[in-house]
Structure 1
Amino acid sequence: MIDTSEFITAIRLINSPDGKCTFEIGKIPTLKPMNTTTFWISNKTEEWEKITHPAPRRQYVVTVKGTIRFKVSDGSTFLIEPGIILLAEDVEGEGHSWEIVEGEKWERLYIPLTENAEDFFVPDSH
């Protein structure tokens, strides 16, 4: 039996009903099999990635190295660093932007979810 009593901090980018990008803070259970397709590692940054854009697909983004500041539609920001999972689900609308605030590179692992797969994200209570 898989123990899902442990969680890791996560931040989920989502679309609001008006097509804007917003985020919520929460967690994802550990040791939970997730329906993903493949994964790849990146340490390169294309210029288009720094300007406002939607996520190309629903995916987990696992930061290996670097601290990144994300910005959403209303100007709110949050930091992603190793130990915090980003769940990018803002696949429509204007999207988000980001910048490196610590380190020279953002080393990350992209793990796309299969179509209609559960993301297992649990938002924090407010």
Structure 2
Amino acid sequence: MKMISKLAIACVLAASSLNAVKAQEGHGKIKEVKVEAEGEMPAVRLINNPDGTCSFQKGFIPTLKHANTSTFWTSNKTEEWEKNAHPAPRRQYVVTLKGKIRFKVSDGSTFLIKPGTILLAEDLKGTGHSWQMVHSKSWERLYIPINEGADDLFVAKND
């Protein structure tokens, strides 16, 4: 069990469901992006822009790569501070186990996270992001903080 990273366990749990992410860029059309290549888990990364705003990148995290993490925890409730726009409290993977969540970044762009897509929260400054549940009453998720200075393993996909 020691050889299997906590991220790998989380990915296996999350992969048991739909393997897609929908993104609505700006006020344009909704576009579905599927990452089905073997050896890739679909991911979306929240990032800070130089002006302090938040945006996102679509991509993937290679499978069977060991992430430098030391702990994880689960949640199925929402804290008060999460109900408004906020930056991520730390660099972390957020793995949705149940629920659909629409995330919104500074310019109004949104994307949908479903089980099977890993969210990488790295928007640590500025206004951050907001989110809301879509057609679900609960959001079950794993939080997996990335150790300080460690590689997040994220690979951006160019559209």
Q: What's the TM-score bracket when you normalise by the shorter of the two chains?
A: over 0.9
Which one of the candidate residues 68, 75, 88 is aligned to 1:55? 88
Aligned amino acid, residue 64 of structure 1: L
**Residue 24 (structure 1) aligns with:** 57
Q: Which stretch has the larger CA shift, 45-54 or 84-93?
A: 45-54
**Residue 78 (structure 1) aligns with:** 111
**Residue 101 (structure 2) aligns with:** 68
Q: Could you list the runs of 5+ residues in structure 2 that have no partner in the other structure?
A: 1-37
**Residue 14 (structure 1) aligns with:** 47
C-alpha separation in 1, matches of 2:134 and 2:72: 25
Larger strand proportion of the pair? 1
Q: CA RMSD in A?
A: 0.9
Q: CA deviation at 1:37?
A: 2.1
Q: Following TM superposition, where does structure 1 have runs of at least 4 consecutive aligned residues deviating by more than 3 angstroms?
A: none
C-alpha separation in 2, matches of 1:88 and 1:54: 9
Identity of aligned residues (%): 67
Question: Any idea what the Cα deviations from partners look like across 1:51-105, whole Å, max 9, x if unmatched?
Answer: 0000000000000000000000000000001000000000111100000002210
Q: What is the TM-score of this pair, normalised by structure 2?
A: 0.75
Q: Could you list the runs of 5+ residues in structure 1 that have no partner in the other structure?
A: none
**Residue 112 (structure 1) aligns with:** 145
Q: CA deviation at 1:48?
A: 1.6
SS in 2 for 1:125: coil
Larger helix proportion of the pair? 2
Give aligned pairs, total: 122
SS in 2 for 1:104: coil
Q: What is the TM-score of this pair, normalised by structure 1?
A: 0.94
C-alpha separation in 1, matches of 2:81 and 2:135: 20
Determine which structure has greater relative contact order: mean sequence separation of CA pairs < 8 Å that are 6+ residues apart, divided by chain length.
1
